[in-house]
Amino acid sequence: MKMKMFHISLSNSYLSEILYLWVFRLIYLIKNKDFSEIKFHLGKKEASKRAGKELHSAWIVEVENHHKEPSILKAIIRAFGKGFALLAIWEILWIIFTWTGFYYLVKRAVRYIEHHKQGIADEYIGYLNAFAFLLTFIFSTICHNQLHIQCTKVGIRVRSGLMVLIYRKLLTLNTLTNGMGNIVNLISNDCNRIAEVCVNLHYCWSSLLEAIVVCVLAYIEIENSSLPAIGFILLLFIPLQVYLAIKTSSLTLKSTKNIKERVHLMSEILTVIKLIKFYAWERYFEDKVNHIRAKEINKIKQVIFSRCESLIIVFVAPMISTLFSLVLYYAIEKKAMSPAITFTILSIFNSLRYPLSMLPTAIRSIGDAYVSIRKIDKFFVLPETFNSEIENYEISRDAEGREVQDVSIFMSKAKFRYDNDTPLKLGYLNLVIRRGDKIAVVGEIATCVNLMDALLGQLILESGTAYLNGKVGFISQQPWIVKGSLRENITVSYLIEHFPIAYHILTKAQVESVNISSDYPFYYESDTNHYLFSAQEYLKAIHNYQILTILLVNIHYLNNNQVLYQLQHNLYQHHLLP
């Protein structure tokens, strides 16, 4: 019986999205159904495929307009800036509804209570004030939540688009600087920081606007008595919050550098963990990791202390502003404040906490995103493999679909290099490989690797001719560990069980580091028989047993070119090479 799936969409309808009506159905399904039967769906705009296309198109335009120094920030603004800017309407509406409640309705409610005690106010006015309070809080909550969720959606789209571009760029890179750790850092940290600034960016200008509104309303209520509080807000509290936010962002950047060093070191350790365990170097690398980790923790502590200082200002600023205003009002007016003025001033200055708390958060996000954008810009301008200058032709076919071109790879006096700053890596190749040929490259490991880099487009063709017919597929050799003994991992148990003679000869040659030549005697002893092989007989035995073997021959084991020629001749003679 097919299991029934229940679908939940976060963008099912506009009314459901504004009032979060889909949450009630989600709660019902989680309570009554199996969670594995629930499927969540993103809206079409939030899909990574669409976001990637939009940002990629904007990036192409940016590269065409600013070929020397393209900026991913301009591409993001071109792709998502218009919709993100319109979200400021939600923030403006939130400010209007919030200050209508904090200032106007609070003042009217207190005056109504005073008049009601004197018997000169109608009761329906009190109900209207209470209902107005309810409406303002409902609308301000809707506006605030919509601003947050819509900015989050834009951040998700930006992050998805950046991940798509980074992945596409990674596939075309000529060389990978700092290994995969740098790529993981770009995706996991830098993309998230840019997505985070999309959530907090509107709070930067709105916090300053709210602080100005607080100062204007305070001056309207108590005039000159509010000047000290206005001075504290504009000249002390806000600049101090900006300073602490910049300081925190700087410390976070230094902490990020320490994290990058630690990740890079851990990547190197994990890459050569076998050698570290073999030579018992654990203590040295442990001390090195602990040293970097100690510096990282020290910077994180400084960041936490800076945020605590900023949080202290958030709670102290309203108290100081209110205290100075009340004292100065009494000193100037020579009378106590009325309840309407007192509660209105308290409400105004208490609302100052929100902009003072959001301003440093927005500034920190902007600073972190700026650093991340610079790193991504440097990544996107790295050289790509399409500059290899190797021509690639489509496979020519006749009317019946048969391949006409017989040559797959052709090189004539081809000279390759990595880049302009790197000397010659591979020079003067003359190579013709026909379709269906099986080729074995025998030589130094570095030479073999450089040849593969040239075929894959990792090297730049400096001179000569080189072209490929068709597409190139590459499967790299990856080491792995199977469950078993050390001998089984090195030699593979199948070879030991079915071909003990070949296994003995291979291990004997490896252990003794012999010079392989055409007449080297191999000796193998079993329980019943003794065997003496030459290299030629060994090759013949491999051919007779039909073992598909890859011979990894180190050039340092060979005495001279004559021996190498003789070995190649034997391989051809016994049909192990085409």
> What digits encode the pLDDT tens for the residues 368-392?
899 889 989 988 888 775 445 555 5
CA dist 195 and 488 (Å) reads 49
Residues 241 and 345 in one domain: yes
Please tell me whether residues 375 and 395 are part of one structural domain: no
Pairing of strands 38-41, 391-393: unpaired
**pLDDT, tens digit (0-9, with 9 covering 90-100), for 150-163:** 899 899 999 999 99
The answer on pLDDT for 319 being more than 60 is: yes
Question: In one letter, which amino acid is 8?
Answer: I
Report in angstroms the alpha-carbon separations of 139 from 47, 132, 133, 161, 507.
29, 11, 10, 33, 79
CB 129 within 8 A of CB 109: yes
Whether 547 is in a domain gets the answer: yes
Q: From 232, 202, 203, select the one nearest 215 (Cα to Cα).
A: 232
Domain assignment present for 187:
yes
Whether residue 117 sits in one domain with residue 207: yes
What does pTM read for this prediction? Answer: 0.65
Which range has the top average pLDDT, 4-8, 274-278, 391-395, 501-505?
274-278
Say yes or no: 326 and 428 in one domain. no
Q: How far apart are CA 241 and CA 249, in angstroms?
A: 12
**Residue 476 domain flag:** no
* Interacting residues of 100 by C-beta distance below 8 A, sequence separation 6+: 136
Please list, in sequence order, all residues whose beta carbon lies within 8 angstroms of the beta carbon of residue 4, skipping any fewer than 6 positions away: 37
**In this predicted model, what pLDDT tens digit does every residue of 18-77 receive, in sequence order?**
777 778 877 888 888 777 777 777 777 778 888 889 999 999 999 888 877 889 999 999
Domain that holds residue 405: 387-469
Residue whose pair of structure tokens reads 């009630």 in the numeric block = 24
Condensed to tens digits (0 to 9), the pLDDT of residues 394-407 reads 555 556 656 556 77
Domain count along the chain: 4
Q: Are residues 354 and 393 in the same domain?
A: no
| pLDDT given for residue 530 in this prediction | 39
**Tens-place pLDDT, residues 99-128:** 888 888 888 888 888 887 777 777 888 888
Q: Which residues contact 57 (CB under 8 A, 6 or more apart)?
A: 79
Q: Which residues contact 130 (CB under 8 A, 6 or more apart)?
A: none
Contact present, 186 and 378 (Cβ < 8 Å): no
- What does the pLDDT average to over 347-376? 89
Same domain, 35 and 54: no
10 and 132, same domain (yes or no): no
Q: Does 1 map to a domain?
A: no
Mean pLDDT calculated for residue range 494-518:
46
Calculate ∠ Cα 357-363-367, nearest 5°: 150
Closest to 89 in 3D by CA, of 212, 194, 206:
206
Q: Are residues 343 and 437 in the same domain?
A: no
Q: Are residues 166 and 311 in the same domain?
A: yes
Give domain status of residue 404, yes or no.
yes
CA 573, 576, 577, 578 torsion: positive or negative?
positive
474 domain-assigned: no
**Cβ contacts of residue 507 below 8 Å, gap of 6+?**
491
242 and 359, same domain (yes or no): yes
Out of 342, 366, 382, a domain closes at 382
For residue 398, the SS3 value is: coil
Q: How sure is the predictor about 487, in pLDDT bands with cuts at 50, 70 and 90?
A: low
Last residue of some domain: 469, 495, 518?
469
**Last residue of one domain, picked from the residues 439, 469, 499:** 469
Please, which pLDDT band fits residue 576 given cuts at 50, 70 and 90? very low
pLDDT for residue 521? 43
d(CA 96, CA 112) in angstroms, rounded, equals 22
In a domain, 578, yes or no: no
Residues 20 and 123 in one domain: no
Q: Are residues 416 and 492 in the same domain?
A: no
Q: What percent of the chain has pLDDT over 70?
A: 72
Q: What is the DSSP letter of 39?
A: E
Residue 240 vs residue 466, higher pLDDT: 240
Q: What is the CATH number of the domain that holds 201?
A: 1.20.1560.10
- Determine, yes or no, domain membership for 478: no
pLDDT tens string 515-570? 344 444 443 344 444 344 444 444 444 444 333 333 333 333 333 444 445 545 55
The DSSP secondary-structure symbol of 532 reads: E
